[in-house]
Structure 1
Amino acid sequence: METSGGIRASLAGRYASALFDLARDQKQIESVGKSLDALNQALVDSKDFSELVESPLVSRDEAGKAFGAIALQLNLDPITSNFVGVLARNGRKSQLQPVIRAFRRLAAEHRGETIAEVVTARPLNDDQLAQLKTQLRTRAGRDVNVDATVDPTILGGIVVKLESQRIDASIRTKLNRLAQAMKG
């Protein structure tokens, strides 16, 4: 299992740790988590927003203004609104998604939970997600939150990273193994 010390070793982890510490001190972990979830969903839903976050051509001032407008539009809590402004002004807007992931890990650890990173070719429906959580809870021995992402390049199946374990049951991996077996 990755400890908070491991999370804090990366750039995104240091930013996430600072945000988490501030949220914890102000007893706002849940509201900051919800705001970060809203930002993460905006990254998924809005091509313009995701391009803004990734573009090196957007200046720090322009990014700060855009993040401020997005914070208002998404009705983010004050801590998160200030934080995304700091990311933009420090030229670290591209770290937004890794910061969100690291914050989720820290918050889950704080609640005594663990996070499973799940990649599928298509979005999971609510029933599939519930079944997966049940299976992962049994495997981990404690509550598990699922951080699900969609990656059509895996073609089908699922890839799960739970604590130090990685389970790759994707069709892409199976095809690669088959190709290797046929070669050698």
Structure 2
Amino acid sequence: MAEFATIARPYTKALFGLAKENNQIESWLGGLKALASVVQQEKVAAFIGQSGKSASEKVEMLVDLVGLSNPNLKNFVSVLAEQKRLQILPEVYAQFQDLTLALNHTKQAVIYSAYPLNDAQLEDLTADLQKRFGINLKTITEVDPELIGGVKVEIGDQVLDLSLQGKLNALYAAMTN
């Protein structure tokens, strides 16, 4: 959601700067991932949305659920709770992850394939994509049977569609125009 992205951006940048200063980017990324996951659960989201609960009760519940021991992350969660913005934690995690990858000159690629890729296929495909785009990639794979065959790759806002379904759609469009 664009609104959450806009709201989360300054919080994320501030948190990332502090994490970088303390050389704890990776550990904080793990804590944010856990927080984002917990906040998206239906019962937790309902608890967070209750107006009768105080910010400190919400923070205490989240910290206990996640087992958060980092005092800086606890303070961050407290700030979000006081501002009634705990629901942006998944977006904060996504932006923090993007900043982490950018720091390492890496981008995240989502590879959709009709069938599961084995390790050798994934390594070859990743190497080809890194060569084509000239960047380091962290890959995530997802199976999408609708592709019929081939792969579709998303890197940021770029999409490389090498799937059979994509080729059939292009052929259909060419024939109907």
TM-score range, shorter chain: 0.5 to 0.7
Q: Structure 1 residue 20: deviation in Å? A: 0.1
User: Structure 2 regions of 5+ residues with no counterpart?
Assistant: none
Matched, 1:136 2:146: no
**Residue 58 to residue 161, structure 1, CA distance change in 2 (3 Å):** same
Q: Structure 1 residue 103: deviation in Å? A: 0.7
- Name the % identity: 30
Equivalent positions of 1:6-85 (< 5 A) are 10-40=6-36, 42=37, 49-51=40-42, 58-59=49-50, 62=53, 64=55, 65-66=57-58, 68-76=60-68, 77-85=70-78
Amino acid of the residue matched to residue 79 of structure 1?
N
Q: How many residues align?
A: 168
**Alpha-carbon distance in 2 for matches of 1:13, 1:60:** 25
Asked if the contact 1:61–1:89 (Cα under 8 Å) also holds between the matched residues in 2, the reply is no
Normalised to the residue count of structure 1, the TM-score between the two structures is 0.63
**Residue 119 to residue 50, structure 1, CA distance change in 2 (3 Å):** farther
**Alpha-carbon distance in 2 for matches of 1:86, 1:135:** 44
Q: Name 1:96's counterpart in structure 2.
A: 89
Q: Structure 1 residue 122: deviation in Å? A: 8.2
Amino acid of the residue matched to residue 136 of structure 2?
D
**Alpha-carbon distance in 1 for matches of 2:118, 2:34:** 19
**Alpha-carbon distance in 1 for matches of 2:65, 2:48:** 23
**Alpha-carbon distance in 1 for matches of 2:54, 2:109:** 29
Amino acid of the residue matched to residue 101 of structure 2?
A
**Alpha-carbon distance in 2 for matches of 1:92, 1:50:** 16
**Residue 143 to residue 20, structure 1, CA distance change in 2 (3 Å):** same
Matched, 1:86 2:79: yes
**Residue 29 to residue 57, structure 1, CA distance change in 2 (3 Å):** closer
**Residue 13 to residue 176, structure 1, CA distance change in 2 (3 Å):** farther
Q: Structure 1 residue 168: deviation in Å? A: 3.5
Matched, 1:120 2:116: no
**Alpha-carbon distance in 1 for matches of 2:116, 2:25:** 27
